[in-house]
Amino acid sequence: MNPVNYLYLAALLFTIGATGVLIRRNAIVVFMCIELMLNACNLAFVTFSRMHGNLDGQIIAFFTMVVAAAEVVVGLAIIVSLFRTRHSASVDDASLMKL
């Protein structure tokens, strides 16, 4: 098996995650989909690391994880405060525009 298959898998997961972001209304699920996308990227980085025979890809993946952790902390805080004020976790409810 060629390791490129990992990249295909990463691309597929990324696309699924992105589509999920677009389709789902629940802010928490949207967040999860973003995490999925980040993880797909990480998989690609790890695969690249293996392909190129150095550890830089893994370092990037590591940093991605850290950033993802920070993002989750802030994002979930936002969701919680949003839920407190709007009593809903739907991202569509945050729209105040008239149509």
Partner 1 sequence: MTTQLAAYTTSTGEAFQFWVLATVAVIGALCTVFMKKAVHSALCLAGTMIVLAVFYLANGAYFLGIVQIVVYTGAIMMLFLFVVMLVGVTAADSLRETIKGQRWLALLCGVGFGVLLLGGIANASLKDFDGIGKANAGGNVEGLAALIFTRYVFAFEITGALLITAAVGAMVLTHRERTERARTQRELSEQRVREGKHVPPLPAPGVYARHNAVDIAGLLPDGTPSELTVNKTLRDRGQIRDVSDEALSDLKALEQRAAERLERAEDERPTHKRTEEASK
Partner 2 sequence: MENLIALLIAAPLLGAAVLLCGGRRLDAVGHWLGTLLAGLSFVLGVVLFTDMLGKAAGQRAVTQHLFSWIPVAGFQADVTFRLDQLSMTFVLLITGVGSLIHLYSVGYMEHDERRRRFFGYLNLFLAAMLLLVLADNYLLLYVGWEGVGLASYLLIGFWQHKPSAATAAKKAFLVNRVGDMGLSIAIMLMFTTFGTFAFVPVLHSADSAGEGKLTAIGLMLLLAACGKSAQVPLQSWLGDAMEGPTPVSALIHAATMVTAGVYLIVRSGAIFNAAPDAQLVVTVVGAVTLLFGAIVGCAKDDIKKALAGSTMSQIGYMVLAAGLGPIGYIFAIMHLVTHGFFKAGLFLGAGSVMHGMNDEVDMRRYGGLRTYMPVTFVTFGLGYLAIIGFPGLSGFFSKDKIIEAAFAKGGAEGWILGGAALLGAAITAYYMTRVMIMTFFGEKRWQPDEQGNEPHPHESPGVMTIPMIVLAVGSVFAGGFFSIGDRFVHWLEPVTGHAEGNSPVSAMTVTVATLVLLVVGAGIAYAQYGRRPVLAVAPRGSLLTRAARRDLLQDDFNHVVLVRGGEHLTRSLVYVDHTLVDGVVNGTAASVGGLSGRLRRLQNGFARSYAVSMFGGAAVLVALTLLMRAV
| Residue for token pair 């919680």 | 80
State residue 26 phi and psi, 5-degree precision: -70, 120
Q: Is 66 exposed, middle or buried (0-12, 13-18, 19+ CB in 10 A)?
A: exposed
Determine the interface stretch with partner 2 among 17-25, 48-56, 59-67, 79-87 (rule: CB under 8 A). Answer: 17-25
**Tokens found for residue 79:** 């969701």
**Residue 34 binding target from partner 2, partner 1, none, CB below 5 to 8 Å by type:** none
Among residues 38, 49, 29, the alpha carbon closest in space to that of 10 is found at: 38
**Residue 36 binding target from partner 2, partner 1, none, CB below 5 to 8 Å by type:** partner 1
Q: Does position 91 bind partner 2 by CB under 8 A?
A: yes
Site pattern 53..92 for partner 1 (x: CB under 8 A): xxxx-xx-xxx-xxxxxxxxxx-xxxxxx-x---x-x--x
Query: How far apart are CB 96 and partner 1 at their closest, in Å?
Result: 15
